[in-house]
Amino acid sequence: MQKLKRCINIGFRVTEEEQELIRRAQERTGIKNLRAYLLKMAVNGRVINLELTTVNECARLLRSVSNNVNQLARRANEGRNIYRTDLDLIQDQLKDVWAQQETIVKTLAKIVEVV
């Protein structure tokens, strides 16, 4: 028979309301296993679940800017004209990237304050 590394049992009782609060908190973290969630909370005292939608949007915007810059560089290397509207478009896209990046930094700062 396999010897278990975790041989100490810790248990506690909760009310139905507390159980529901625990269930909702567990749901927010995305951890499906109650034992894993409770162990994580007991050992670390917190579980941070990051929503990466803003980071993914920022990466998408950066790819778009990079593609446009590469197209302009190719055009310039071929001796073709670069138009002011193209540069304005890239400038607007960079403003969007900076706005997304600022949102990300503010969100992370809030998380650090909580921790």
- 53-105: pLDDT as tens digits: 888 888 888 999 999 999 999 999 999 998 999 999 999 999 999 998 898 88
CA distance 44 to 69: 45
CA distance 92 to 32: 42
Residues 65 and 97 in one domain: yes
Residues 105 and 65 in one domain: yes
pLDDT, averaged across the chain: 87
Q: Is residue 90 part of a domain?
A: yes
Round to the nearest angstrom and report the end-to-end CA distance of the chain: 42
Residues 85 and 43 in one domain: no
Decide: pTM greater than 0.75. Answer: no
Q: Is residue 5 part of a domain?
A: no
Residue 65 contacts residue 97 (beta carbons within 8 Å): yes
Residues 105 and 68 in one domain: yes
Residues 95 and 63 in one domain: yes
Q: Is residue 6 part of a domain?
A: no
- Mean of pLDDT values over 102-114: 80
Residues 80 and 104 in one domain: yes
Residue 104 contacts residue 54 (beta carbons within 8 Å): yes
Tally the domains of the chain. 2
